[in-house]
């Protein structure tokens, strides 16, 4: 499938779930889910986000602690309703009062960006509804010190994911950092591989239900995710599972750098 086709499908999915994600971050009302499988998905959103976002904030904070300049620019690729940017701008300025934080969010979903614009209306944040792969894009804060991307690569096949990563690479400073958080098969023992196909089908059924047509969600192993980033020109600084107890499928965090030379 071409990148444009995958982007179109993904934007429709995220348009359809934007109000659920807004509820997750801001406790706003939402309609009843259209089916039991979507309902189960919605039930998991809050606990999942409560585990994920603090990890990403800690990673950004670690970078800030090593940052020598008085300004720090963040690009959130797939920013959704602006939840992670909102959390960062709420917590980090107090801890780093001498560093001016500049934030930009981009998302392919017009519904997500509409919510983000309302949620961040009191902050000086640049928000754009577009694909990061659009070569005509010019952000006011580029090149960036860090880009973050939470559970985005899994919506794209390998070639399209690489194109997205290369586009992000081009928007970062030399020595800049990309923080990726995404699902990864962990397979603590080989027998668990038997369960990966039915679990994959369940995930595909969920997003196909939301989209209204067939959709394939791509899960990768830790090694496969790292290869994607290496092929896009990044050097892995560290990668780890947010929950080591996971025996089948976990959330992997990767800190990857643009080569400084």
Q: What pLDDT shows up at residue 248?
A: 47
Q: What pLDDT shows up at residue 219?
A: 85
Q: What pLDDT shows up at residue 55?
A: 93
The class level of CATH for 3-258 reads alpha beta
CA angle 6, 202, 192 (to 5 degrees): 110
CA angle 75, 158, 249 (to 5 degrees): 80
* Nearest in space to 206 (alpha carbons), one of 217, 197, 220: 217
Rounded Cα distance between 139 and 157, Å, is 26
Q: What pLDDT shows up at residue 151?
A: 92
Q: Which residues pair with 147 in a beta bridge?
A: 75, 178
Domain boundaries, the chain: 3-258
pLDDT in tens, the chain (261 residues): 899 999 999 999 999 999 999 999 999 999 999 899 999 999 999 999 998 999 999 999 999 988 888 999 999 999 999 999 999 999 999 999 999 999 999 999 999 999 999 999 999 999 999 999 999 999 999 999 999 999 999 999 999 999 999 999 999 999 999 999 998 876 544 444 555 566 678 788 888 999 999 998 888 888 899 999 999 999 999 998 887 554 545 788 999 999 755
Rounded Cα distance between 191 and 181, Å, is 26
CA atoms within 13 A on the CB side of 27: 0
Rounded Cα distance between 155 and 161, Å, is 8
- Residue 229 burial class via C-beta count within 10 angstroms: exposed 0-12, middle 13-18, buried 19 and up: buried
Q: What pLDDT shows up at residue 168?
A: 97
């Amino acid at each position: 499938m071409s990148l444009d086709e995958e982007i179109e499908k993904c934007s429709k999915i995220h348009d359809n779930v934007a109000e659920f994600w807004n509820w997750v971050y801001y406790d706003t009302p939402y309609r009843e889910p259209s089916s039991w499988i979507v309902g189960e998905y919605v039930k998991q959103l809050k606990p999942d986000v409560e585990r994920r976002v603090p990890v990403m904030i800690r990673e950004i904070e670690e970078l800030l602690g090593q940052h020598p300049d008085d300004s720090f620019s963040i690009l959130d690729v797939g920013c959704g309703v602006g939840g992670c940017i909102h959390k960062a701008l709420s917590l980090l300025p107090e801890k780093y009062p001498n560093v001016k934080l500049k934030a930009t969010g981009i998302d392919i979903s017009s519904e997500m960006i509409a919510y983000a614009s309302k949620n961040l209306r009191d902050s000086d944040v640049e928000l754009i509804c577009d694909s990061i792969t659009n070569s005509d894009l010019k952000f006011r804060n580029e090149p960036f010190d860090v880009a973050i991307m939470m559970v985005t690569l899994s919506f794209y096949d390998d070639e399209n994911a690489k194109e997205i990563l290369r586009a992000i690479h081009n928007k970062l400073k030399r020595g800049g950092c990309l923080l990726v958080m995404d699902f990864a098969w962990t397979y603590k023992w080989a027998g668990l591989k038997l369960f990966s196909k039915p679990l994959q089908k369940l995930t595909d059924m969920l997003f196909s239900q939301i989209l209204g047509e067939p959709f394939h969600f791509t899960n990768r192993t830790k090694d496969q995710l790292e290869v994607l980033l290496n092929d896009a020109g990044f050097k892995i600084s560290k990668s780890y599972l947010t929950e080591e107890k996971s025996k089948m499928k976990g959330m992997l965090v990767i800190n990857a750098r643009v080569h400084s030379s």
